[in-house]
Structure 1
Amino acid sequence: MTVLRVSVGVVYCWFGVLKLFPAGSPAEEIAAAAMTKLTGGLLPAAVSMPLLGTAETVIGLALITGLLLRPALILFFAHMAGVFTSLALLPGQMWHHGVPTLEGQYVLKNVILVAACLTVTADELTR
């Protein structure tokens, strides 16, 4: 269980840190577009990317260390809800004739992270 938790944490930290640097993340454009849609344009990319990067890094560090794990898992699932809404909010970028585009596949791969964190959550709740 520790290996699963820490490995997801490392991946989350990696993706989060990349978002802290302009043009550092391959998901920056899609994440910014999704955040713009989710906030009705109230949160510009210059604010949303560092915010997302910080949140992802904090989630990753909590998974790695096991500190504040329960709040981090709540934040993780809230973040994933936002990530998956991009499939509906940005259909032109996520789908081509009903098949996921490269961006859509990038979002859909998060199913693995959700499954891993469901497992970590179940383990944490039995403690």
Structure 2
Amino acid sequence: MHKLYQWFDRMDRRITAWMARYGVMLLRVSLGLVFFWFGLLKFFPGLSPAQDLATRTIDLLTFGLVPAAVSIPVLAGWECLIGLGLITGLFMRATLLLLFMQMIGTITPVFLFPGEVFTAIPYAPTLEGQYIIKNMVLVSAGLVIGATVRGGRVIADPRLVRATKSL
């Protein structure tokens, strides 16, 4: 039984070390793929499920000064830029700034169009509402990635974590 425990412990440490080494990079690339994919869809009218809500939100936020023929391609390009920045790991500070600015914009329909975002306010979201609420995960992923932009890392060894806390 003791050898089995040692084997599991050794495997757990290896897996945890692998996750610490590659987890943030995989998070960054997968988040980038999501942004690039969703941005790309917006270049093709009717393919993005969020297009109508995004159009009306931007129209309201810009007081009707930016027509949909301009705002949606700009939003599409913005999301593709975020995606490319995350996938390549280049210009991360600028990429994360664009990401957080875009996320502020995506949450505004909750306040501007609550009747379309919820079937029963505030606990039963529509499909569009679910689309917006899942952005909390994207923001959280951006925060984790942002914590590593200046060289921060995930540390798998709890002894090292305890040692750094005493600094």
Q: Please give the TM-score of this superposition, normalised by the length of structure 1.
A: 0.95
Query: Which structure 2 residue ranges, 5 or more long, are not aligned?
Result: 1-23, 153-167
Give the total of aligned pairs.
127
Q: Residue type matched to 1:107 in 2?
A: I
Structure 2 match to 1:111: 136
- Greater relative contact order, per chain length (Cα 8 Å cut-off, separation 6+): 1
Whole-Å separation in 2 of the counterparts to 1:121 and 1:115: 10
Structure 2 match to 1:51: 74
Q: Highest CA radius of gyration, 1 or 2?
A: 2
Secondary structure of the 1:25 match is: coil
Query: Which structure 1 residue ranges, 5 or more long, are not aligned?
Result: none
Q: Does 1:11 align with 2:28?
A: no
Secondary structure of the 1:124 match is: coil
Runs ≥4 in structure 1, deviation > 4 angstroms? Answer: none
Q: Does 1:97 align with 2:120?
A: yes
Secondary structure of the 1:123 match is: coil
Whole-Å separation in 2 of the counterparts to 1:24 and 1:105: 18
Structure 1 match to 2:86: 63
Q: CA RMSD in A?
A: 1.0
